[in-house]
Amino acid sequence: MSKELVQIFDTTLRDGEQVPGCKLDAPQKLEIAARLDELGVDVIEAGFPVSSPGDFKAVAQVAALVKNATVCGLTRSVQKDIEVAAQALKAAKRPRIHTGIGTSDSHIKYKFNSTREQIIERAVAAVSYAKTFVEDVEFYAEDAGRTDNEYLARVCEAVIKAGATVLNIPDTTGYCLPAEYGAKIKYLKENVTGIEKAILSCHCHNDLGLATANSIEGVINGARQIECTINGIGERAGNTSLEEVVMVLRQHPHLNLDSRVNSKLLYSTSQMVSHHMGMIVQPNKAIVGANAFAHSSGIHQDGVIKNRETYEIIDPADVGVNASSIILTARSGRAALAYRAKLVGYELTKTQLDIVYEQFLVFADRKKEVLDDDIHEIVKLSPIDR
């Protein structure tokens, strides 16, 4: 059975760029946009055009540059925002306006001092207005994670009637549990008249570390777009990490879901974004962290040297990482030392290895990590015939 494709909507340049200190200049934005297009994402959210002249210009430049992906601009449910976004997207081959409004009772009362009925009217007006500029209009129901499902279904129904092509269901505060978020998507699939005319989209924040799990539950329950960022960057604890959702779908074929992303470009894209944003990738970050394919305990090293799959579920080459690494520390055993020694030119017999290993432990107890140069030194100091 052929797999169903999940659209990957990258918002590194919009939600990701909202991170304090991560501001990008125009050439950096363009370089990242070109790379995202090459990576194979379906949609690039390039910015929030009305927010500043610089953002307007960046969205317009990205729109003109991108060859394959849909280019999207964010707006509030405000006419001026929509007009400015439409203008910024003029040169896009596939333009999309992403408009929306808060739908949780808390947003309605405190942010808008409004009522549920008035919010539906504003949502419909925004989508209808956006449709006068572009065919592809995505609607976001901000704080959908904390919005009552019955009301959310009414909002979705109304904006589909107004022409929305994609319904974004953001867990804006990262509050939902995976089962709860999945049930929300299922409820909308089953209770919104006209839902077959639109794609449901997951936009999950990571405040409780559940963004990836929630997005995956969303697609298991019928959503067909995931909004995410490279390295999971974004407001507060971040957004869903693109590399994680792409690889979850790829590593679990029984889900029958996949994306068009070329996973071999994931590592280099992660490095590019980290470099331009000045934001280091935590070493234990899944898929792209420095330790994602590094093995340091003796038991694990022995297992990986015998067969990589003993402790790795992903082939590093599939995400563009050169090779698994065997890190030499005081926890390493003879197998790891022999392996690394061979890589730098020493084929040790069993007796030689026993002797070199004694010397290695002396070194390793003094240093956090034993490097290639240290191996040469260790072998030199070991009383073996060579």
Residues that bind Zn ion (CB under 5 A): 15
**Binding to ligand KIV by residue 168, rule CB under 6 A?**
yes
Pinpoint the alpha helices (H) of the chain: 26-39, 53-65, 79-88, 105-106, 116-131, 149-161, 178-191, 211-220, 242-251, 266-277, 298-306, 334-343, 350-366, 372-381
Q: Helix or strand or coil: residue 141? A: strand
**Binding to ligand KIV by residue 140, rule CB under 6 A?**
yes
* Nearest-approach distance from CB 133 to ligand KIV, in angstroms: 19
**Binding to ligand KIV by residue 170, rule CB under 6 A?**
yes
**Binding to ligand KIV by residue 15, rule CB under 6 A?**
yes
Of Zn ion, ligand KIV, none, which one does residue 300 interact with (CB within 5 to 8 Å by kind)?
none
Between 236 and 366, CB nearer to ligand KIV: 236
For ligand KIV, the binding residues in 46-65 under the rule CB under 6 A are none
Between 169 and 341, CB nearer to ligand KIV: 169
Query: In the bound complex, which residue of the shown chain has the CB atom lying closest to ligand KIV?
Result: 170
* Nearest-approach distance from CB 39 to Zn ion, in angstroms: 20
- Cα–Cα dist 13/11, whole Å: 5
- Classify each residue of 51-60 as buried b or exposed e, where b means 16 or more C-beta atoms within 10 Å of its C-beta: beeebbebbb
Q: Which stretch binds ligand KIV (CB under 6 A): 166-174, 189-197, 273-281, 329-337?
A: 166-174
Question: Which has the closest alpha carbon to 134: 39, 49, 36, 40?
Answer: 49
Between 49 and 170, CB nearer to ligand KIV: 170
Cβ neighbours around 365 below 10 Å, total: 9
Between 140 and 357, CB nearer to ligand KIV: 140
* Nearest-approach distance from CB 205 to ligand KIV, in angstroms: 6
**Binding to ligand KIV by residue 142, rule CB under 6 A?**
yes
The rounded Cα 382 to chain-centroid distance in angstroms is 48
For ligand KIV, the binding residues in 175-204 under the rule CB under 6 A are 203
- Cα–Cα dist 24/21, whole Å: 9
* 93 HSE (CA, 13 A, CB side): 10
Q: How far is CA 264 from CA 4, 10, 47, 79, in A?
A: 21, 17, 26, 41
* Nearest-approach distance from CB 48 to Zn ion, in angstroms: 11
Binding residues for ligand KIV, rule: CB under 6 A, are 15, 140, 142, 168, 170, 172, 203, 205
